[in-house]
Amino acid sequence: MNKIAKTILILLALSFLVLTGFVIRGSRLAPYSGHNSQQLIIFHAGSLAVPFKQICEEFNGYFPDVKIIREAAGSRVCARKIADLNRRCDIMASADYTVIEKLLIPEYAEWNIKFATNEMVIAFHKDSHAAGQINKDNWHKILLQKDVSFGRSDPNADPCGYRAVLTITLAEKFYKRPGLVDRMLAKDRRYIRPKEVDLLALLEVGELDYVFIYRSVAEQHKLAIVVLPDEVNLKKAKLSDLYKTASVRITGNMPGTLITKVGEPIVYGVTIPKNAPNRELAMAFLTFLLDADKGGAILEKNGQTLVAPSPTNTFDKLPECLKIFALPKAKKINRRVRRGGKNLVIYSKVSTFCCHSEAKPKNPANEEEILHFATLRSE
């Protein structure tokens, strides 16, 4: 089926739900009540703020009466809202899929879908000290200069924070600079913030010269960046074994405990918690988010590659309507999905709307990398 026909079918399916005044809820289609049935609560990583705002606006075009409440925070903070504070949400989207696996599964969630990638960069503005000299070969020297300040997020609250530490650890080996980790982690500690996007204001006003941040966030905010070598930036799935040589200690599930976070390629994850108040509307949102021509296209536009379907060791726990966006652990991707084929399913236990497509890949240049992620062993 061509793309135009697919779009028409999707619009007809969604328009049917809107025009009949129904929302997916519980085990039946129920009329809007003006209360919780109209709300979709999303906890998400700060680095998803820009694309999720756009995705929610697009989704509201199909479901205009649904009030979407978004709360952006460090991914580990999002998880602790659910696990420690008993906060209820319909969707939790993390900048690191392992946050869901380590902090939420199995008590607070049952499954996890890997859906996007990113990479670490160093962002700066035109007035930063040494802005005209910094590059991928000397950044680690410039950031240690006394008149230069840099910021990073809290490793215990935000994946970008521990990924900054992992990046520095890999840099120590790559540039052959013994002691680099200790020196950099001891410098400018007053500029550690709960999440990476909190550093942007400090950068904009000149309080900071440089920040460790995701490339997508830097590009969304039109910042200059130092693109780091692949051996350092946590981008390439084929360098997984190298990234595993770096590790950092962060807080564990219980107060006073520590766990070791080992380096790996950056992969985002999403789930619906067990206590989700509007589960089936959440599933409708996820089908929109994970469709390559809908939410996936918005992610790509904002600098993140969609990697669904990818393997997950929670495949058997997934709702049937979401299994098209994942693969059983270590299963190789089939040719049809490899070419970018997707199904969009707006799901309820009463009505199922399926729109099939043979969509071509949005970015053929990234196909090899997507295949690496699709076959990457889940840990």
Question: Peptide bond preceding 106: is omega within 30 degrees of 0, i.e. cis?
Answer: yes
How many angstroms separate the CA atoms of 344 and 306, rounded? 15
**pLDDT value at residue 96:** 97
Burial of 265 (0-12, 13-18, 19+ CB in 10 A): buried
3-117+266-375: CATH superfamily: Periplasmic binding protein-like II (3.40.190.10)
Instruction: Check residue 252 and give its pLDDT.
Output: 82
Its sign, for the CA torsion 167, 170, 174, 180, is positive
| CATH classification number, 120-262, choose in 1.10.287.110, 2.40.40.20, 1.10.1130.10, 3.40.190.10 | 3.40.190.10
CA nearest to 41, candidates 78, 16, 13: 78
Question: What does pTM read for this prediction?
Answer: 0.80
Q: What is the pLDDT along the chain (379 residues), one digit of tens a residue?
A: 455 554 444 444 444 444 433 333 332 223 333 344 589 999 999 999 999 999 999 999 999 999 999 999 999 999 999 999 999 999 999 999 999 999 999 999 999 999 999 999 999 999 999 999 999 999 999 999 999 999 999 999 999 999 999 999 999 999 999 999 999 999 999 999 998 888 999 999 999 999 999 999 999 999 999 999 999 999 999 999 999 999 999 998 777 889 999 999 999 999 999 999 999 899 999 999 999 999 999 999 999 999 999 999 999 999 999 999 999 986 554 433 333 444 444 433 222 323 333 333 333 334 344 333 333 333 3
**Domain residues of the chain, as ranges?**
3-117+266-375, 120-262
DSSP per residue, 270-297: EE--TT-TTHHHHHHHHHHHH-TTTHHH
The pLDDT, as a whole number, for residue 9 is 45
What is residue 214's three-state secondary structure?
strand
Residue keyed to tokens 């997916």: 24
pLDDT for 253: 76
Q: How far apart are CA 352 and CA 354, in angstroms?
A: 6
Q: What's residue 29's pLDDT?
A: 29
Sign of dihedral through CA atoms 349, 353, 358, 362?
negative
- Crossing angle of helices 3-19/49-62, nearest 10°? 70
> What does the alpha-carbon distance between residue 284 and residue 291 come to, in Å, rounded to a whole number?
11
pLDDT in the model for residue 178: 97
CA distance 151 to 278: 38
